[in-house]
Amino acid sequence: MLSSSKLNSVCAERKMSLEQLAGHLAHGGMSTDDALRALKNWQKNLLKPAPKTEDVERLADGLGVAVGDISEWRASYRYAPSSPRKARLVTEMINGRSVQDALDVLKFEHKRAARMVEQVLSSAIANADEQEANVEELYVCEARVDGAGRRIGTKAWHPKDRGRAHPIRKQASHIHVAVAEI
């Protein structure tokens, strides 16, 4: 998957304009205008249209860098049965660490959300390995948790005094992890 922050930094470092990159991207069957429009979206982290593997390879060739230098690999766990507040404590511990160090931290963490984050991190590593990235040089570039609302099937009530009832609100969360090469 194309990383917009890495793409922006490499473009600034190489002093490449969007028009030059659109010329490299247009060789794959896109028109120059469509390629320029797609590049502007990709620089803003709007992945519409989604960049294909061939597009990322053409961009890397046009910039003169390896494909791994502008890529990152993601995985997510949607509607994880943990509150976002509790899961954020775990993701903050691994953000910015090397992959092996993050796996070691999660292995010895006693929080319930650590197992879920460990699964997502392992999936992101497998995605990177499938794209032939160097697994030894991966680090966690992004680990975040978004709220997903109330968990399905948790509509229950605590009986209170004088006929009242208070709802039991069990929260769900979306866990997102991205890894990139150093």
* 76-93 residue pLDDT tens: 999 999 999 999 999 999
| More reliable by pLDDT, 46 or 125 | 125
Cα separation, 166 vs 29, in Å, equals: 60
CB distance 70 to 7 below 8 Å: yes
* Amino acid letter, 121: L
* 168-182 residue pLDDT tens: 888 999 999 999 988
pLDDT at 96 over 80: yes
Angstrom CA distances, 119 to 1, 44, 47, 48, 55, stand at 19, 29, 25, 28, 29
Q: Please report, for the chain, the start and end positions of each structural domain, with discontinuous segments joined by +.
A: 4-70, 72-181
pLDDT of res. 50 = 80
pLDDT of res. 23 = 78
CB distance 128 to 73 below 8 Å: yes
Look up the CATH architecture of domain 72-181: Alpha-Beta Complex (3.90)
Phi, psi for 45 (deg, rounded to 5): 65, 25
Phi, psi for 2 (deg, rounded to 5): -75, 135
Q: What is the mean pLDDT of residues 148-155?
A: 79
Q: What is the mean pLDDT of residues 59-87?
A: 86
Please count the helices (runs of H) and the strands (runs of E) in the chain: 7, 5
pLDDT band at 75 (very low <50, low <70, confident <90, very high): very high
Angstrom CA distances, 83 to 28, 76, 109, 146, 174, stand at 45, 15, 17, 9, 9
pLDDT of res. 44 = 80
pLDDT at 27 over 70: no
